[in-house]
Amino acid sequence: MSEDISEEERRSGLRTIRKVAPYLWPEHEPWVKRRVIGALALLVLAKLIAVVIPVLYKGAVDALAEEGVPMLALGAVGLTVAYGVARLLNVGFQQLRDAVFAAVSQRALRALALETFQHIHRLSMRYHITRKTGGLSRIIERGVKGVDFLLRFMLFSIGPLILELLLVGIILTVLFDAWYLLIVAVTIALYVWFTFAVTEWRVKLRREMNEQDTDANQKAIDSLLNFETVKYFGAEGREARRYDSAMRLYEQAALKTSYSLAFLNFGQSFLITGGLIGVMVLAAIGVQNGALTVGDFVMVNAYMIQITIPLNFLGTVYREIRQSLVDMGEMFNLLEQPQEVTDKPGAPALEVTGGRIALEGVHFGYEKTREILKGIDLTVEPGQMVAIVGATGSGKSTIGRLLFRFYDVTGGALKIDGQDIRDVTQDSLHAAIGVVPQDTVLFNDTIRYNIAYGREDATEDDIIAAARAAQIHDFIASLPEGYDTMVGERGLKLSGGEKQRVGIARTLLKNPPILLLDEATSALDSDTEAEIKDALARAGQGRTVITIAHRLSTIAEADQIVVLDAGQVIERGTHDDLLARQGRYAQLWQRQQADEEAA
């Protein structure tokens, strides 16, 4: 079983690397390729200089000890200067390499972050209502950081390390003998095996820590988003205990990760030190026997220390690459989430000639086992206002979601001016429909920004005109900062009625031919509702309007009222007609009237 899991993870890692590669070597951006090639050239140059440094060091030591043949007749001082210059060039070329590659890395991060952001917005409503936003943001954050690490360190750490080890191995074999190479090779092999084996174990611990981190973060965000509810129920202590419980599990997972890191670091140090001692003993014997100079002894030591540093780094790099692959795997899994609602290839834009809406035998269910709409037939003529009423769960709001194509119908068709909305682009469909929901949610920005959200190119005059039509301009003008007033997160600094008016102004600015009012006044008090009703009536002038209503008093003037029950149309007609029939609508009307009188 564990072998199957490892194979699955390995394939997942290779999949992730394949997905990242195009960002490193894009087809139509030659400047990126030139920078990658330039960075690699600088990398090779730096490594060639790095393997020469110990040779210069040896020459300086031998010259000072007056042993062996003076190197290049430079003398001790000259060799010491050459040694310093070589070290400086090595560092300089490495830094230049990083500077050349930085633009490649940042471009890849930006492109991937944008692609992920756009994909999340394309995912279906079903995905978003089941996904935890806090956990989602954490996955994206860790995934993008993982790409940054992988691009920089996989290209500039693993490759260079292999190159440096090969060069050092060749030099040790040529200048000394095969025993040195054997000790170095065995040390490296044991080190790599130990590092990879322990890191695989640590990845499981790290994944558990990530899961607990995501869970704790989600609980914190969930609690903060529901700040008012927490206050209403005096649940601050309960929320703190809930968060602390999640953090306790994170703490336990983090401790396991820390302990395993200490074990890994000590094991790596033990192996490296063993190899270093073995090579140094051989060199010491050679010096005692007169076969080697003191400079040779120093050079062997310098080479071992030189390869020890990247080898120590290998443990960190492999661990981080392994973790980055896990983090990126989660993000690429997100990118591979299928879009439930997609445009057909070559789909044309919706052409609204009048705004006639037709539901023809529409069936739909959020789950296959439970159908919500059961063959709905409904026609809304251009310029008409049609109200949809019914008890909770009858399918009223579902019709609005289908019209905006948050979901696709499972049977029948939904058409606008004879065009099946599944055959046109979603962008054009969304542009044709304006929605005023039950609870308008605003961005944590100014009133101007929130109204202007209705149309990107809106002028100041357009914004003010929309605010006047929504009957909120006078209120905004009375504020100390006017249209520059910040509304707070989700618009919490405004009252329910004020938020709804901003939402109406935003929709009016969009100027859509079709208007969907989804219980736009049900969350308001009666006085505020009466004021909003007038603004909504103005908004509906000259447009096809579907209003999903809870309070029947707001839709008495509708051209047609459709009564739903258990996903089927049971009555339709004008307000007066339906009252005269003494059916379901009349019962709902009389009940609401009695409730209002009692209130």
Q: Indicate if the pLDDT at residue 17 is higher than 60.
A: yes
Among 415, 402, 387, 373, CA closest to 563 = 387
For residue 461, what pLDDT is reported? 92
CA separation for the pair 137, 220 (Å, rounded): 13
What CATH topology corresponds to 17-335? Answer: ABC transporter transmembrane region fold (1.20.1560)
Average pLDDT, the chain: 81
Residue among 319, 307, 306 at smallest CA distance from 264: 319
Share of the chain above pLDDT 90, in %: 5
- Digit-coded pLDDT (tens) for 213-234: 888 888 888 888 888 788 877 8
Angle at 184 between CA 178 and CA 186, to 5 degrees: 100
**Structure tokens that stand for 375 in this block:** 């063959």
Most confident of 203-207, 273-277, 439-443: 273-277
Identify any residues that bridge with 569 across adjacent strands, giving them in sequence order. 564
Q: Which residue has the higher pLDDT, 152 or 417?
A: 417
CATH 1.20.1560.10 domain span(s) along the chain: 17-335
Share of the chain above pLDDT 70, in %: 86
What's the pLDDT at 70? Answer: 52
Asked whether the beta carbons of 412 and 375 are under 8 A apart, the reply is: yes
* Whole-number Å distance between alpha carbons of 280 and 298: 9
More confident residue, 159 or 548: 548
* Residue that wins the pLDDT comparison between 153 and 494: 494
Q: Is the pLDDT of residue 287 over 80?
A: yes
Of 2 and 26, the one with more pLDDT: 26
- The SS3 of residue 547 is strand
DSSP for 232-264, please give it.
HTT-HHHHHHHHHHHHHHHHHHHHHHHHHHHHH
CATH of the structural domain 357-598, one choice from 1.10.260.40, 3.20.20.10, 3.40.50.300, 1.10.1380.10: 3.40.50.300
* pLDDT reported for residue 68: 52
* pLDDT, tens digit (0-9, with 9 covering 90-100), for 100-124: 888 888 888 788 778 777 777 777 6
User: Can you give the pLDDT at residue 13?
Assistant: 60
pLDDT of 3 higher than 50: no
pLDDT for 4 beyond 80: no
pLDDT in tens, 36-66: 888 888 888 888 888 888 888 888 887 777 7
pLDDT on residue 593: 79
Tens digit of each residue's pLDDT (9 = 90 or more) over 465-514: 988 888 888 889 998 888 898 887 666 677 877 888 888 888 888 888 89
Q: Indicate whether 12 pLDDT > 70.
A: no
- pTM, full prediction: 0.61
The CATH 3.40.50.300 domain(s) of the chain lie at 357-598
Residue among 67, 49, 48 nearest 58 (CA): 67
- Average pLDDT estimate for 566-582: 88
**Residue 72: pLDDT above 60?**
no
Structure tokens at 588: 């709902």
